[in-house]
């Protein structure tokens, strides 16, 4: 459950959110970029063991602290494991002062009306109760917009806020993530529609309730300023969405008030075969670059 110190850090802290929440579908690619090919594991369990080792190495690196990394998003299996000899969420907050979040979505449904909605989440209430027991601050839930389709974007935002209401009812803070695919031709139009829909639902939030938003870096610099200023929003964070770290940081710096929540852009350049000194130097450089873009 959120504590006053965690709320203050998530509202006003200087830094960014590390997205360490790769799931079953994205884990093989993340491991490959880390230098571990599919021939290195023979089962899903072995794959997740390797992924956890990578996440643990990042989380225990000297630079990975709340001074610049204000929060981290965890995969469910990470929440259930240990880092540094403690339950993962407890280690992050107690040892690193990094606020823990949990990815709760179970992937994407088939495309319809230019969007991919979230699949149903079986056992959601129990999962949220477990998150509370682990000391998780909030959740993250992703869906995807592939076209400037008003009906589809309206449906995706409605689903995000409906799920967010269930998360808020458990005392947790949801990060709503309606991602706009960065390669679509009508990205700017889709983002304008998304802004309108999000503002509509924010204005319907009960007094005192706040959500966070995780959005693709917008084509129009400063587009999401009304969301950043809205009393129903704790924080607006940006996903890297396939941009390189340099590209993502440059775009982020054009959007004052947004901070990063990068995954691939954070781990770019890390390798399983790096000695600890080289690894810690590389992750330190990545953290510094993303931090600077987030506080510009």
Neighbours of 101 (CB within 10 A): 31
For CA atoms 58, 215, 27, 264, give the dihedral sign. negative
DSSP code of 148?
Answer: -
214 counts as catalytic: yes
Q: Which long-range contacts (CB under 8 A, 24 or more apart) does 76-79 make?
A: 76/102, 76/103, 76/104, 76/127, 77/48, 77/52, 78/20, 78/21, 78/52, 79/130, 79/131, 79/134, 79/136
pLDDT > 70? residue 159: yes
For CA atoms 277, 279, 282, 288, give the dihedral sign. negative
Q: What is the pLDDT of residues 213-256, one digit of tens each?
A: 999 999 999 999 999 999 999 999 999 898 999 999 999 999 99
pLDDT > 80? residue 25: no
103, 106, 140, 214: the active-site residue = 214
What is the predicted pLDDT for the residue at 242?
87
- Here the tokens at position 243 are 């941009």
Q: How confident is the model at residue 24 (pLDDT cuts 50, 70, 90)?
A: low
Q: What is the pLDDT of residues 83-101, one digit of tens each?
A: 999 999 999 999 999 999 9
177, 179, 191, 197: the active-site residue = 177
pLDDT > 90? residue 264: no
- Here the tokens at position 82 are 């240990």
29 counts as catalytic: no
Pairing relation of β-strands 138-145 and 233-239?
unpaired
What is the predicted pLDDT for the residue at 180?
98
What is the predicted pLDDT for the residue at 118?
98
């Amino acid at each position: 459950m959120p504590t006053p110190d965690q709320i203050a850090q998530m509202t006003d802290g200087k830094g960014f959110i590390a997205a360490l929440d790769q799931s079953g579908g994205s884990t093989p690619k993340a491991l490959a970029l880390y230098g571990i090919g599919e021939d290195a594991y023979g089962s899903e369990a072995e794959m997740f063991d390797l992924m956890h080792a990578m996440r643990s190495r990042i989380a225990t690196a000297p630079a990975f602290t709340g001074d610049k990394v204000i929060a981290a998003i965890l995969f469910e299996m990470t929440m259930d494991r240990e880092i540094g000899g403690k339950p993962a969420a407890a280690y992050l907050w107690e040892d690193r002062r990094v606020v823990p979040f949990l990815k709760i979505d179970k992937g994407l449904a088939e495309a319809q009306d230019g969007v991919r909605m979230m699949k149903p989440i079986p056992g959601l209430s129990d999962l949220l109760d477990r998150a509370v027991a682990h000391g998780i601050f909030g959740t993250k839930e992703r869906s995807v917009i592939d076209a400037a389709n008003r009906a589809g974007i309206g449906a995706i935002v409605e689903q995000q806020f409906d799920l967010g209401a269930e998360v808020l009812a458990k005392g947790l803070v949801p990060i709503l993530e309606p991602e706009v695919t960065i390669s679509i031709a009508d990205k700017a139009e889709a983002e304008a529609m998304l802004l309108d829909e999000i503002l509509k639902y924010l204005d319907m939030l009960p007094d005192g309730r706040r959500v966070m938003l995780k959005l693709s870096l917008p084509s129009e610099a400063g587009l999401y300023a009304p969301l950043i200023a809205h009393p129903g929003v704790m924080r607006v964070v940006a996903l890297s969405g396939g941009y390189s770290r340099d590209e993502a940081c440059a775009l982020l710096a054009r959007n004052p008030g947004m901070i990063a929540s990068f995954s691939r852009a954070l781990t770019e350049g890390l390798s399983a075969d790096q000695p600890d000194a080289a690894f810690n130097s590389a992750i330190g450089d990545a953290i510094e670059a993303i931090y600077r873009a987030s506080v510009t």
